[in-house]
Structure 1
Amino acid sequence: MIRFLHAKSTYTVIAIAVIIFVAYMIHSVSTRTDSTLITTTVETGSVRQLVSISGVTSAKQSAELAFPAGGIVTNVLVETGSIVTAGDVLVTLDARTLYADRQNALAALDRARADLAELLEGPTGSAREVTSETVASKEAALATTKETEAQKVSNAYHALLSADLSAYSDDPNEDALPPTVRGTYVCDTEGVYTLEVFNSKADSGFSYRLSGLETGTYIASVEQPIALGTCGLRIQFNASSFYNNSVWHIDIPNKKSAQYTTYRNAHSLAITQANSAIELATQAVALVKADANNQNAPARSEAVIRAEAAVTQAEAQLARIDASISDRSLRAPFNGVITEIDILKGETVSTLPIVTLLGDNAFEVTARVPEIDISKIVASQTAEMRFDAQPATIVTGTVTFISPQATEIDGVAYYEAKIQFADLPSWMRSGLNADIEIITAQSSDVLRIPKRFLNQTATGYEVLVKRGNTTASTTIEVLLEGNDGFVAITGLTAGDTLLAP
Structure 2
Amino acid sequence: MNKIKSYIKTHKKTSIFILIIVIALSYWGYKKITSTSGDTRYVTAKVEKGTIISSVSGTGQVSAYNQIDIKSKTSGDVTYLAVKSGQEIRTGALIAQLDAKDAQKTIRDAEISLENAKLSLEKLKLQNSEENMNADLEKAYDDGFTTVSNAFLDLPLIMNGLEDLLAQSQLSENTARSSGETALDYREQAEVLYYKANDAFFENRINFRKLDRNSINSDIESNIDETYVTSKLINDAVKTTRNFVDYLAEDLDNTSAYSSFQDTLSGYTSTMNGHISSLLSIKTSIKNYKDAFPTTDLDIQSSELSVQQKINALQDAKEKLADYSVRAPFDGTIATIDVKKNDSVSSGTLVATLITQKQIAEISMNEVDVAKIKTGARATLTFDAIEELTITGEVVEIDSVGAVEQGVVTYNVKISFDTQDERVKPAMSVSASIITEMKQDVLTVPNSAIKSQNNKSYVEVLDYHIEPSNNGNGNIGLISKTPPKRIAVETGISNDFQTEIISGLEEGDEIITRTILPTTTKTTTAPSIFGSPATTNKNMNRPMNSK
Give me the TM-score of the superposition, normalised by structure 1: 0.34
Question: Which structure carries more helix by proportion?
Answer: 2
Give me the TM-score of the superposition, normalised by structure 2: 0.31
Question: Which structure carries more strand by proportion?
Answer: 1
Larger Rg: 1
